[in-house]
């Protein structure tokens, strides 16, 4: 159980951390995604900071388990919102949000299971 908890949490932190970097450095991909989903570009850095906070929170969860669980829960809400944003505009490119959402759910469940 411990190995699964650590592995999934680190993978989730790396995934969301990498996405946060792309959002925060002004890469074109998040901007085009925001345009496609009809989200204001001014939200892109804020969304990047949310991803960065979630990523750091997952890692901080190794020291403070409640913080890791809350970070995973926040990321779940974030990626549910991303999923809804894709569906709202009729996008069928759902693999990305689904992978991130699944990883966040797994990190949340494993955090709660391991520390219960």
Spatial distance between the Cα atoms of 19 and 47, rounded to a whole number of angstroms:
10
Number of domains in the chain: 1
Mean pLDDT of 16-36: 95
Under DSSP, the state recorded for 47 is: H
Please report the pLDDT score of residue 53 as a whole number: 98
Residue ranges making up the domain that contains 23: 2-115
Q: Are 55 and 16 in contact (CB under 8 A)?
A: yes
Report helix, strand or coil for 1.
Answer: coil
Please report the pLDDT score of residue 116 as a whole number: 87
pTM over 0.85: yes
Mean pLDDT of 31-40: 94
> Between these two residues, 23 and 93, which has the higher pLDDT value?
23
Read off the pLDDT of residues 38-62 as tens digits, 9 standing for 90 and up.
Answer: 999 999 999 999 999 999 999 999 9
**What are the CA-CA distances from residue 25 to residues 11, 12, 46, 57, 104 (Å)?**
21, 20, 12, 20, 23
Q: How far is CA 40 from the centre of its chain?
A: 19
Read off the pLDDT of residues 69-114 as tens digits, 9 standing for 90 and up.
Answer: 999 999 999 999 999 999 999 988 899 999 999 999 999 999 999 9
């Amino acid at each position: 159980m411990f190995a699964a908890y650590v592995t999934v949490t680190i993978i989730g932190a790396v995934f969301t951390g990498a996405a946060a970097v792309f959002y925060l450095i002004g890469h074109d991909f998040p901007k085009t995604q925001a345009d496609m989903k009809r989200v204001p570009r001014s939200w892109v850095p804020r969304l990047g900071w949310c991803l960065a906070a979630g990523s750091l929170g997952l890692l901080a969860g190794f020291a403070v388990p409640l913080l890791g669980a809350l970070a995973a829960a926040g990321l779940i809400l974030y990626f549910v919102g991303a999923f809804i944003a894709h569906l709202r505009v009729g996008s069928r490119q759902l693999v990305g949000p689904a992978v991130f959402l699944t990883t966040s759910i797994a990190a949340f469940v494993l955090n709660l299971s391991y520390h219960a």
